[in-house]
Copies of this chain bind each other. A is one copy, B any other.
């Protein structure tokens, strides 16, 4: 049998810091500190011990601890004699009864008391009674006599509530404590926490049995927690809190206002309370030395627990400290500057979620803790938002113009809502997935958005919605946490994320490490400029469709509709001719904004019927322009209707059936490029054909592209207009046929939204009806539109790249689906050898970080082999 019990203490330890998986985080830290010769209470042997949990990964407050084990009618007199401090011993004993009866005798024994009838509450009530009777303010006011009386009351109460005597045998107490800590791994809180944090159930916890040291032994005793740097800001200052004459749980429980650790970090709330620096300068100095030693040793900010027993410092815990986004970035950058860590290590010190925190203002987390959740949905657009509810896009625009902050609440959004979405501060929909229209648009704009909140029932006519038993009327306030997908009633305060000076430096570190290129998806010249500012090295997907939505889009949209509803190719060509200047100007603006960097322009992609107007007045105007009746228009619109438009007449299929459409776009690309070159600018367009599934489609369109190229080049008196010709790989067949496709395509861009749709047979607009059940039943590890399915979709991607590069070794390969901004997916893209990922502008920093992490993780893996 493997060794299961490890000793530590007195400058020696059987375990090591690297044995975290065996000893747990706490145990490993204690062993390491003991090995370093730091003052650590020894494990296992001494008279009084604590039993403390400690899994591989910190789960703060989720598991149990039992202190003061070993106090019995036999040992109490001895301890009093030894310490000459009866009050301290009795205080420790009443703490033992209180904790043990709760954790061991009730919880671990599986007793399920009625609400408020738990042994802990009942004992606390007794304690309160005694204090009230005596007029005491604090536990510290209790005298030895008070405690002696209280202990008898406690014992009687335990017997009454649990039907058992409190055990008076040290061995029995220890067995009970160990068992209880092990069992707390399966406690309700711990299990929920593991679900959220994705910690595997099979890890289990270690139990640390350690000699007690006492912070409650009098005025020369104390206990505290400290962080080697400020975990909220990352600032390189020693930060912490402590209490005199107390045990650790008192600090955590918040019964007394804790003292500041030192003068540097004293805050207003600490008032005049003495700092440890002032109260115990020698011990403080010793603690500072420990701090310095540990940080240098662990090369990361540490979260410390210490106790001062009668003037002597004991270290109870050291572990890597939790931190928020700004702090993580600041510390990573600082530690590189201090030569404490390498750039590669720095890159691993910030999670993508932490970086994301820096990019969006958020709801005040404290206010959130106290607010009532009325609905949950998908976290489609991160950050927070608070505003007054409106139910139509028009109302959103009207209210926003008056300066009102509005939250647009819709059953689901459609392209006609775009104006309202832009005007809103936040968006909330009852339907849709992470890549639904609302989600895509919101993320593109860095806007807070929750979609698929199926609990909310929207009544557009009454202008109300109901959720969690609450009915919210138009004009009432709601608040959204778009990072978690939570909806609150009322107006919650916001916390800004000001410009962080470390951010730019950190991004530079990432860029120096990563190999993968990072581009952005853009829908307008303005998007492109924003993307460039976020560090995008090109546009991986320029969707010209955007020019048909939103403000200023009336004219091009009208012309597009005219084109779509044309009765003949001639009519269609005429409308396209009128549309041409708009397309060209849009493309030219984007190429110009990205001058010197490549811009992948996708030809028209969506099914045409998406653009047909629904509003009566717009239909009338359109029919008039086409010289047909409303019925005639309705017939043409009906002809465009499809059962499954996602797999219908779109993308390259439009280019084959209506060649004049692709021609117009291609001509616009070449003319815009030629004009920019004539103006002395470096335009690098890449023409991308969407929705292909066969080389022949690419050949068909390539012939047209070459023809238009010759025409435009001749018109501008140029020999050649630079461009690349390539395709989206977004249909499973395209991935399988990639070897042939690469004969014609000079680049591939994996469209993983569609590829996921077709590979799974999941319509992203319709998954709301079953994917939540799938996630709940554990049938899917994650929404595949959020996190790339690396097993099957990933296999198709890897296969596509391999086959493509076999034909054309220098084939340029990227990804332009929403996954391009998902960290795990970015890492996957690095591993399969893509040249770049492309994501929404706001995700560019995240992608840069993930790409850098991929390099470091890959090297670590190789190193291990």
Is A779's CB under 8 angstroms from B733's CB? no
Does A697 lie at the interface of the complex (its beta carbon under 8 Å from any beta carbon of B)? yes
Question: Please, which residues of chain B bring their CB within 8 A of the CB of A649?
Answer: 766, 769-770
* Beta-carbon contact of B694 and A780 below 8 Å: yes
Question: With an 8 A cutoff between CB atoms, is A812 at the interface?
Answer: no
Q: How far is the CA of A737 from the CA of B644 in the complex (A)?
A: 25
Is A761 a contact partner of B765 (Cβ separation < 8 A)? Answer: no
Is A757's CB within 8 Å of the partner chain B?
yes
Q: Return chain B residues, CB-CB under 8 Å to A404.
A: none
B761, B777, B780: the one within 8 Å of A647 (CB): B761
A754 touches B765 (CB 8 A): no
Kindly list chain B residues whose C-beta atoms are within 8 Å of the C-beta of A510. none
Chain B's nearest CB lies how many Å from the CB of A411? Answer: 9
Contact B763 A656 (CB under 8 A): no
Question: Closest CB of chain B to A642's CB: distance in Å?
Answer: 4
Residues in B with CB closer than 8 Å to A737 are 791-792
Q: Nearest-CB distance from A780 to chain B (Å)?
A: 7
Determine whether A346 belongs to the interface, using a CB cutoff of 8 Å to chain B.
Answer: no
**8 A-B pairs with least C-beta separation:** A644-B763, A647-B763, A648-B766, A643-B765, A731-B761, A733-B792, A736-B792, A653-B770
- Residues of A within 8 A of B (CB-CB), count: 48
Q: Mark A741-774, 1 if CB is under 8 A from B, else 0.
A: 0000000000000100111111101110110011
Contact of A759 among B731, B754, B769 (CB under 8 A): B731
- Where the two chains meet, the residues of A that have a C-beta atom closer than 8 Å to any C-beta of B are 642-649, 653, 656-657, 691, 693-694, 696-697, 700, 730-733, 736-737, 754, 757-763, 765-767, 769-770, 773-774, 777-780, 789, 791-793, 795-796
Q: What are 8 residue pairs bridging A and B, where the CB atoms are less than 8 Å apart in the complex?
A: A644-B765, A646-B647, A646-B763, A647-B766, A648-B763, A693-B792, A694-B780, A736-B759
Select A761's contact among B642, B691, B696, B777, beta carbons within 8 Å.
Answer: B691
- Bound-complex Cα distance A653 to B760 (A): 12
* Contact assessment for A774 and B732 in the assembled complex, using a CB-CB cutoff below 8 Å: no
Contact yes or no, A766 B656, CB < 8 A:
no
Cα(A795)–Cα(B737), bound, Å: 10
Contacts of A779 in B (CB 8 A): 656, 694, 696-697, 700
Q: How far is the CA of A644 from the CA of B761 in the complex (A)?
A: 10
A694-B779, A779-B697 given as contacts; is B757 within 8 A of A647 (CB)? yes
* Closest B residue by C-beta to A757: B647
CB of A778 within 8 A of CB of B647, answer no
In the assembled complex, the Cα of A265 lies from the Cα of B388 at a distance in Å of 95
| Residues in B whose Cβ lies below 8 Å from that of A736 | 759, 791-792, 795-796
Q: Is the CB of B643 within 8 A of A774?
A: no
Q: How far is the CA of A648 from the CA of B780 in the complex (A)?
A: 16
- Tell me which residues across on chain B come within 8 A of A730, comparing CB atoms: 761
Report Cα–Cα, A780/B777, bound state, in Å: 42
Instruction: Give every chain B residue within 8 A of A791 (Cβ-Cβ).
Output: 736-737
Q: How far is the CA of A257 from the CA of B3 in the complex (A)?
A: 108
In whole Å, how far is A402's beta carbon from the nearest beta carbon of chain B? Answer: 33
Residues on the B chain within 8 Å of A647, using CB: 644, 646-647, 757-758, 760-763, 766
CA distance A766 to B645 in the complex (A): 8
CB closest residue in chain B, given A693: B760
The CA-CA distance from A337 to B779 in the complex, in Å, is 60
Give the CA-CA distance A801 to B686 in the complex, in Å.
39
- For residue A645, which residues in chain B have a CB less than 8 angstroms away from its CB? 643-644, 763, 766
B644, B754, B767, B769: the one within 8 Å of A646 (CB): B644
- A767 contacts across to B, CB distance below 8 A: 648
| Bound complex: CA A761 to CA B758 (Å) | 7
Return A689 CB to nearest CB of chain B, in Å. Answer: 13
Given known A761-B691, A770-B653, contact A777–B644 (CB-CB < 8 A): no
Name the residue of chain B whose CB is nearest to the CB of A740.
B791
Q: Complex: how many Å from CA A716 to CA B754?
A: 49
Q: CA A601 – CA B361 in complex, angstroms? A: 55
Find A777's partner among B700, B773, B796 (CB 8 Å cutoff).
Answer: B700
CA distance A789 to B696 in the complex (A): 15
Q: Cβ of B769 and Cβ of A656 under 8 Å apart? A: no
Q: Which residues of B contact A696 (CB under 8 A)?
A: 778-780
A763 touches B657 (CB 8 A): no
Contact B693 A761 (CB under 8 A): yes
Query: Which residue of chain B lies nearest to A779 when distances are taken between CB atoms in the complex?
Result: B696
Q: Are the CB atoms of A773 and B648 closer together than 8 Å? A: no
Using known A-B contacts A643-B765, A644-B644, A780-B694, determine if residue A759 contacts B733 with beta carbons closer than 8 Å. Answer: yes
A733 to B759, CA, bound (A): 5
Q: Which residues of chain B come closer than 8 Å to A757, judged between CB atoms?
A: 647
Q: B774 touching A656 by the CB < 8 A rule?
A: yes
Most buried by B among A642, A648, A649, A765: A648
B-chain residues with CB within 8 Å of residue A646 when the two chains form the complex: 643-644, 647, 761, 763
Our pick among B642, B769, B793 for the contact of A657 (Cβ within 8 Å) is B769
Look across to chain B and name the residue whose beta carbon is closest to the beta carbon of A781.
B696
Q: Are A656 and B759 in contact (CB under 8 A)?
A: no
Cα A773 to Cα B697 with chains together (Å): 12
Chain B residues near A766 (CB-CB < 8 A): 642-645, 647-649
**Docked complex Cα distance between A612 and B656 (Å):** 36
CA distance A779 to B760 in the complex (A): 26
**Residues of B close to A733: CB separation below 8 A:** 759-761, 789, 792-793
Question: Could you tell me the distance between the alpha carbons of A456 and B791 in the complex, rounded to whole angstroms?
Answer: 47
How far, in whole Å, are A645 and B761 apart by their CA atoms in the complex? 10
Find chain B residues with CB under 8 A from A648 CB.
763, 766-767, 769
**Bound complex: CA of A653 vs CA of B766, how far in Å?**
12
Q: How many whole Å from A799's CB to the nearest CB in chain B?
A: 9
Bound complex: CA of A84 vs CA of B767, how far in Å? Answer: 92
Specify the chain B residue showing the minimal Cβ separation from A607.
B766
Q: How far, in Å, is A767 (CB) from chain B's closest CB?
A: 8
Contacts of A795 in B (CB 8 A): 736
Chain B residue numbers with a CB within 8 Å of A760 are 647, 693, 731, 733
Residue of B nearest to A778 (CB): B696
Q: Is A656 a contact partner of B761 (Cβ separation < 8 A)?
A: no
Q: Is the CB of B732 within 8 A of A763?
A: no
Give CA–CA (A795, B734) in the complex, Å: 12
Q: Of B697, B780, B792, which is within 8 A of A732 by CB?
A: B792
Residues of B within 8 A of A656 (CB): 770, 773-774, 777, 779
Closest CB of chain B to A453's CB: distance in Å? 15
A642, A736, A774, A780: most-surrounded residue (chain B CB, <10 A): A736
Question: Considering the chains assembled together, what is the distance between the CA atoms of A208 and B760 in angstroms?
Answer: 59
| Contact present for A657 and B732 (CB under 8 Å) | no
Residue in chain B with minimal CB distance to A647: B763
Which of B691, B759, B765, B774 is close to A758, meaning CB atoms less than 8 Å apart? B759
Please give the distance in Å from A597's CB to the nearest CB on chain B: 31
